[in-house]
Amino acid sequence: MKNLNFVLVLFLFSGTLIAQTPKFSNDFLNIGVGARGMALGSAVSSLSADVTSGYWNPSLLPMGTAKFQVAGQHAQWYAGIGNYDFIAFGKKLDSEGRSFGSISLIRMGIDNIPNTLRLRAQDGSIDYNRISSFSVADYALLISYGRKVKFSEDGLRGFNLGASAKVIHRSFGSFANSIGFGFDASMSFLSGNWRVCIMGRDITTTFNAFKFSFSDEEKSTLQITGNEIPASSIEITLPKIIAGLSYQIELGRSVGMTPSFDIEFSGNGTSTQLISSGNFGIDPRIGVEIDIRKKVFFRVGANNFQYIPSLIEPNKREITIQPSGGLGLKFKRISLDYALTNIGNVGAGLYSHYISLMLDF
């Protein structure tokens, strides 16, 4: 019965989101990609200079040195309950290296969920052989392009533009699926060791069309248990603006440090955000990366700053953060990164591990 309740709550939750508000639509696309970005608390919109920029900031795609690049990531969420994977391919599109294109695929899923909607046979008896399993998974395909628009001869100062088109598919086993489309756009300004960027997510508003499909037997189970049957509908994702700033500092001949700061502005804010007014919300993110000879990297970051009611004093609120940290190694054309994050800072055991690998050709 617990499994049945879990399945029913799952569908009702998704249906409620669709019917009431677009606030958390396609939320899996807010997680981030690459262990470096996750270790830095997602404060990398001005730092990314590789194929992961197709997600973080496509205008910085041309800033990498590789002619062709491949990256992959695997992460376990909530102590292994969910899996989050990413793979990307990118290539310079001209001999001067002024433009770079990439294709990225993201998957966030929970697999092997028991489906007990058909647990009872037609005669009313319980038949455990009728239990099957399904997956709830979100997919996104990003096609990205970045170009150097105007740069100084020494390559230290300039202006970049970039954009990403994305196709989104969400699947709830055989019960429901959706297809959606959206666009991101960005620009970056570089001057010496400074980088400043502006990233617009879902600038045209991203639309997802949901279609639900239940057998007569499954509909009957939902009705008997007092649950509504979800109806096909449209879900939208509202635009967000992310501003980023970073600065490279040389601490010595072989040691460098790069602090970074991102701030996200959204029109679908919540009352728990650090800065909010009505539907308007602001989310800050900070990160610091220390490198040794550009081969060994130590990273820390923090994001998801929230005001939540105090468990000790209900009339007061306290600030919580999502801390993160990680390591990186670069050997010739291979980069290996690891990150550890605490989901929402809500207790022991809810840690997520990220491992990513990048190859330059």
Residue 17 has pLDDT above 50, yes or no: no
CA distance 340 to 40: 10
Give the residues across from 161 on adjacent strands: 147, 187
- pLDDT, tens digit, 9 for 90 and up, residues 214-272: 666 666 666 666 677 666 677 888 899 999 999 999 998 899 999 999 999 987 767 67
At residue 247, the 3 state secondary structure works out as: strand
Predicted model pTM: 0.83
- pLDDT, tens digit, 9 for 90 and up, residues 290-317: 999 999 999 999 998 887 776 677 677 7
Please report the beta strands in the chain, taking only residues with DSSP state E, as ranges in sequence order: 68-77, 82-92, 99-115, 132-151, 157-172, 176-191, 194-201, 206-212, 233-237, 240-247, 249-250, 255-266, 275-277, 280-292, 296-309, 317-331, 334-342, 351-360
Residue 281 has pLDDT above 50, yes or no: yes
The average pLDDT across 13-29 equals: 53
Residue 13 has pLDDT above 60, yes or no: no
The lowest-confidence range among 28-32, 36-40, 175-179 is 175-179
Torsion angles phi and psi, residue 278, rounded to 5: 65, -125
Range 2-360: architecture per CATH? Beta Barrel (2.40)
| CA 242 remoteness from chain centre | 14
pLDDT-based confidence at residue 338 (cuts at 50, 70, 90): very high
| CA 78 remoteness from chain centre | 15
The average pLDDT across 143-167 equals: 90
pLDDT for residue 344: 43
Residue-range domain boundaries for the chain: 2-360
Measured from the Cβ of residue 34, the count of other Cβ atoms closer than 10 Å reads: 29
